Structure 1
Amino acid sequence: MARQPPPEDDPHAPAVNHAGGIARLMGDNALFARVLARFRNEYRQTAAGIRAALGNGDAPQALRLVHTLKGAAGMIEAVPLRHAAQALEQVLRQPDGSGDAWQRLTRLEQALDRVLLELDAAAAVAPPAQEQARTAVAALAEQGRERAHSDTVRRLATLLDDGNGEAVDLVREAAGTLAAQLGEQRYHRLADTIEAFDFDGALAMLAEWT
C-alpha cells in the first residue's frame, strides 16, 4: 500500500509542542530547554545545506540531512517541520522525484524558519531571573546527570560489544539521555546505525565521541 502524505498543518498553531516535548523527556523541563537550545544552534543552516546538496546533484547528502532534521524535529515535537521533512524525504527516496523536491524543500524551509523564529523569540524574552534559576537548578543536578549519562553510555557500549540486540531497545528508551550527552545529530547517527544492526560501527562511534 502506498504511504499517505502527512496532513497539512495549521499555520497558526505553535511550531513546537512544548508540552509534548517535555513529556517525551519524562517531564524534564531543564533537559528540554537544553535540547531546544542545541536545536537552535545545530540546525539553523540545515535547510541551506540541503539546498546546496540538491543544487550540486548530491541527493544522498541531501537525504542524510533531511533524515537527521526529521528526527530532531520529532525530538522537540516540531510537528509541522517533521511533516515537511518527511514529505521531502519520501520524494528524495524516489529516483524520479527530483522535480518535486524543490517545492517540498521550500515548504521545509518555511517550517524550519517558523521553528527558529519561535525559539529565538522565546529566548529573547526569557526573564533574567527565570534564566538564572534554571541555570542554578541545572548546575545542582549536573553532576548526577553526568553520572547517569555515563552509566547509560557504558551499558550501551557493553551491549554493542556483546552483540546483544537489547542495544536497539536501549537506544530508543534512553533517547533523551543520549541526545543530551552526544548532541542531536550524533544521537540520530548512532540510533540509525544501531537500528541497522551495525553494532561494530556504533561501538566505534561511541569510542570516538566519549
Structure 2
Amino acid sequence: MDAVDSKPGLRERKKLRTRAAISEAAIALFLEHGFQQVPVARVAEAAEVSKRTLFAYFPTKEDLVVHRLADHETEIARVVRSRPPGTAPLAAVRGNFLGGLRERDPFTGLNDRPEVRRLHRMIVEAPSLVARMERFRTGAEHALAQALRETADTSGLTARLAAVQIVAVHWALAQDNAARMADGESADERLAGAVADAEHAFALLENGLNGPQGLPPGR
C-alpha cells in the first residue's frame, strides 16, 4: 500500500477532529472551573456536539481526562518489548526513565509547564480521577507482565511480581516529581535529585530489598 492510501479517509479525519475538539473543550473547562464542577452537558455545549455524541467518543466523564494519558498505559511494556538484544528488561526501563527525565517527559513527572502542573493538580484533587488512575496503573502492570512472559521467558508468577514492582517504582518516582512541580519547584532544579532518586530506586529493584542499599536485616 502506498503512502497516500495509508492516510486516514475523510470520515476518519472528521472523527479525529471531533474527538480533539471535545477533548480540548473538556480540558479547558476542567482546568478553569474544576473537574467536579463542570457537568458533561457543558462540555458538549462548548464542543458544539450533543451529549450522545460526546459519550460515543468518551464513555465516561473521566475518559475526557484519562485518554490524554492512554498511550502511557502500555509504555513500559513497549520499552521491554523493543529493548535491544542482550538488554535486561529492568535496564531498559531504567534507561527509558532516565532519558525521559532529561527530555522532561510528563510520564516521569518532571515537567513544569503550567498546563501540565494544573492537570496533575486537577487529577489528584478529584477522587474519581484518582480511582481511574489506579485502574490505569493496573493496566500497566498487566501489559508489562505479558511483555515479560513473552520476551524474557519469565514464568507467570515471576512476571506478575516483577511487573507490580517495576510499575510501582516508576509510578512513585513520577508522582514524587509531579508533586514537586505542582508545589512550584522547577524541572531544572529538580533534575539532579530526580536522577539520584531514580538510580536509587532501580538499584533497589535490581539488588533486592535485602541488598546493601535496601532494608536492614533482622527487622
Normalized against structure 2, the TM-score is what?
0.26
- Structure having the higher helix fraction is 1
Flag the structure with larger Rg: 2
Normalized against structure 1, the TM-score is what?
0.27
